[in-house]
């Protein structure tokens, strides 16, 4: 099969962008299938970090067609700004970029409502990125959304926006006591971005299916991670889309039978942004060392990420949900300085040992992790490019992950640069 799916096997920020970007040179197409500008994939392009929020991570690779699928929600103003910024860095965004007409738009009232909702939750706030992603998906499901394809018929778009935004202003003012939004101003801005985005709008599902049928390599790029999946994550501390591989079909129009190997990207440790249970979180200096060495701050929000040890129970859950065929372990180099590296091999919940990941967030919050310690390697892995270059303990760490998960590790990433990869097996 000539298509692969790249999914995050933890709570997001696993380095999927770098892996997608490095594999893109062997692909004809990269397709985003869910999420919105709450994603932030940092990719190193000619030694410079470039952050993609909505643009697929293959956009910097010449000759690759990048597609935003119908399952994504798009802030059109933000997307135009991102295109300009990326072009300013010398990256081409022209006929190599298509947006499916069925993707829904994130509008200013989605952001305003999300901010008002989060504030009204007080201590129970979810810790969303306040980019309006959740409300935009909610509108899609309540048939109140606006597909981006409507921008091509601006009069119809205007009629729809006036009706919807009018109702949203009622909610903002009457329910939350907030200021109403300026609908005329919104329309003016949308007229400008509609012209800019028009050349990229297309009906994409058949294009993607045809590419796969004709043997082209297609990468489906996921955003966030499995443990944030709306159905299988630690609800309610989740994102509002299907981040797992199951999201590819509804998010692109490609049937499950045409989808090939599933690649799960996991860091050599774990991080989490925002609220919610995190069994292996490290509150001591080790967590701080990981945060510093791994530069663990959100690419979209700048928030410091919570850091902790690799959690095999959670990883095995992600493997099961996605049907992961190969793992890619990223940021192995971040662990270079540790003398001992704990790996969580089981959970104790209310005194009972288990290797099952509890889906209930309240139960997960009561987990006491059971650790097995691995010896550290205390040497730089940064320059390693083949398995023989890795210190024996680092290789043993990778083999341990394979043993505990039963899934082969196809590659280990040892730095931010696209070349900093030790490949154990072909992926594409």
- The answer to whether 396 touches 377, Cβ cutoff 8 Å, is no
CB of 264 to ligand GDP, least distance (A): 12
Q: Rounded to the nearest 10 degrees, what angle do helices 154-170 and 108-121 cross at?
A: 20
Gap between the Cα atoms of 191 and 188, Å rounded: 5
Q: Which is nearer to ligand GDP, 165 or 395 (CB)?
A: 395
Residue 40 in the binding site for ligand GDP (CB under 6 A): yes
Q: Which is nearer to ligand GDP, 169 or 240 (CB)?
A: 240
Residue 299 in the binding site for ligand GDP (CB under 6 A): yes
Among 18, 111, 140, 242, binds ligand GDP (CB under 6 A): 18
Other C-beta atoms within 10 Å of 141: how many?
9
The reply to whether 139 belongs to the active site is no
Residue 301 in the binding site for ligand GDP (CB under 6 A): no
Among 27, 165, 334, 401, binds ligand GDP (CB under 6 A): 334
Task: Reduce the DSSP state of residue 256 to 3 states and report it.
Answer: helix
Residue 17 in the binding site for ligand GDP (CB under 6 A): yes
Q: Which stretch binds ligand GDP (CB under 6 A): 77-85, 109-117, 232-240, 413-421?
A: 413-421
Query: β-strands 270-272, 306-308: how paired?
Result: antiparallel
Gap between the Cα atoms of 342 and 286, Å rounded: 11
Gap between the Cα atoms of 74 and 270, Å rounded: 28
Residue 418 in the binding site for ligand GDP (CB under 6 A): no
Q: Which stretch binds ligand GDP (CB under 6 A): 66-74, 91-99, 137-145, 414-422?
A: 414-422
List, as one string, the DSSP characters of 180-242: PP-HHHHHHHHHHHHHHHGGGEE--HHHHHHHHHTT--EEEEP-S-GGG-TTTSSTTSS-SS-
* Beta-bridge partners for 375: 340
Residue 149 in the binding site for ligand GDP (CB under 6 A): no
Contact pattern for ligand GDP over residues 75 through 114, marking x by CB under 6 A: ----------------------------------------
* Beta-bridge partners for 29: 65, 218
State the burial class of residue 345 (Cβ atoms within 10 Å of its Cβ: 0-12, 13-18, 19+).
middle
Phi, psi values for residue 273, rounded to 5°: -110, 145
Gap between the Cα atoms of 39 and 37, Å rounded: 5
Among 2, 42, 289, 337, binds ligand GDP (CB under 6 A): 42
Among 53, 110, 272, 331, binds ligand GDP (CB under 6 A): 331
CB of 71 to ligand GDP, least distance (A): 17
Among 41, 111, 242, 306, binds ligand GDP (CB under 6 A): 41
Q: Which is nearer to ligand GDP, 46 or 360 (CB)?
A: 46
Q: How far apart are the first and last CA of the chain?
A: 10
Q: Which is nearer to ligand GDP, 203 or 292 (CB)?
A: 292
Query: β-strands 97-100, 65-68: how paired?
Result: parallel
Q: Pick out residues in 264-293 that bind ligand GDP (CB under 6 A).
A: none
Q: Which stretch binds ligand GDP (CB under 6 A): 64-72, 150-158, 239-247, 326-334?
A: 326-334
CB of 64 to ligand GDP, least distance (A): 17
Gap between the Cα atoms of 118 and 402, Å rounded: 40
Residue 416 in the binding site for ligand GDP (CB under 6 A): yes
Among residues 41, 104, 200, 242, the one annotated as catalytic is 41
CB of 338 to ligand GDP, least distance (A): 14
Q: Which is nearer to ligand GDP, 43 or 112 (CB)?
A: 43
The reply to whether 41 belongs to the active site is yes
Other C-beta atoms within 10 Å of 398: how many?
21
Task: Write out the catalytic residue numbers.
Answer: 13, 41
Residues near ligand GDP (CB under 6 A):
8, 13-18, 39-42, 44, 299, 330-331, 333-334, 413-416, 420
């Amino acid at each position: 099969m000539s298509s692969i799916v790249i999914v995050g096997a933890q709570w997001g920020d696993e380095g999927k962008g770098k892996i997608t970007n490095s594999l893109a040179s062997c692909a004809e197409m990269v397709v985003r299938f869910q999420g919105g500008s709450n994603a932030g994939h940092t990719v190193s392009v000619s030694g410079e970090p470039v952050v993609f929020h909505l643009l697929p991570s293959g956009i910097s690779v010449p000759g690759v067609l990048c597609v935003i699928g119908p399952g994504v929600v798009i802030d059109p103003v933000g997307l135009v700004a991102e295109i300009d910024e990326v072009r300013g860095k010398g990256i081409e965004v022209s006929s190599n970029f298509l947006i499916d007409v069925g993707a829904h738009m994130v509008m200013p009232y989605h952001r305003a409502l999300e901010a008002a909702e989060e504030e009204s939750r007080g201590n129970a706030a979810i810790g969303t990125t306040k980019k309006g992603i959740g409300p935009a998906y909610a509108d899609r499901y309540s048939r109140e959304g606006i597909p981006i394809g409507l921008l091509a018929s601006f009069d119809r778009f205007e009629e729809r926006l006036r009706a919807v935004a009018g109702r949203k202003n009622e909610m903002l003012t009457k329910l939350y006591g907030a200021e109403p939004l300026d609908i005329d101003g919104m329309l003016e801005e949308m007229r400008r971005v509609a012209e800019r985005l028009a050349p990229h709008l297309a009906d994409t599902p058949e294009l993607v299916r045809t590419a796969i049928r004709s043997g082209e390599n297609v990468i489906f790029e996921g955003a966030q991670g499995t443990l944030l999946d709306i159905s299988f994550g630690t609800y309610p501390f989740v994102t509002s889309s299907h981040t797992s591989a199951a999201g590819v079909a509804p998010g692109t129009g490609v049937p499950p039978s045409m989808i090939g190997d599933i690649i799960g990207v996991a860091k050599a440790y774990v991080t989490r942004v925002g609220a919610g249970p995190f069994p292996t979180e490290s509150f001591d200096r080790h967590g701080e060392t990981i945060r510093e060495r791994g530069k663990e701050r959100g690419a979209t929000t700048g928030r410091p990420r919570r850091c902790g040890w690799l959690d095999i129970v959670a990883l095995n859950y992600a493997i099961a949900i996605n049907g992961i065929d190969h793992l890619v372990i990223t940021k192995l180099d971040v662990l270079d300085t540790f003398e001992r590296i704990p790996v969580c091999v089981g959970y104790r919940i209310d005194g009972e040992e288990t290797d099952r990941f509890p889906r209930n967030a309240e139960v997960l919050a009561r987990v006491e992790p059971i650790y097995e310690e691995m010896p550290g390697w205390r040497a730089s892995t940064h320059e390693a490019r083949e398995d023989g270059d890795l210190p024996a303990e680092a290789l043993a760490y990778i083999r341990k992950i394979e043993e505990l998960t039963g899934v082969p590790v196809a590659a280990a990433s040892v730095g931010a640069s696209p070349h900093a990869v030790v490949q154990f097996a072909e992926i594409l």
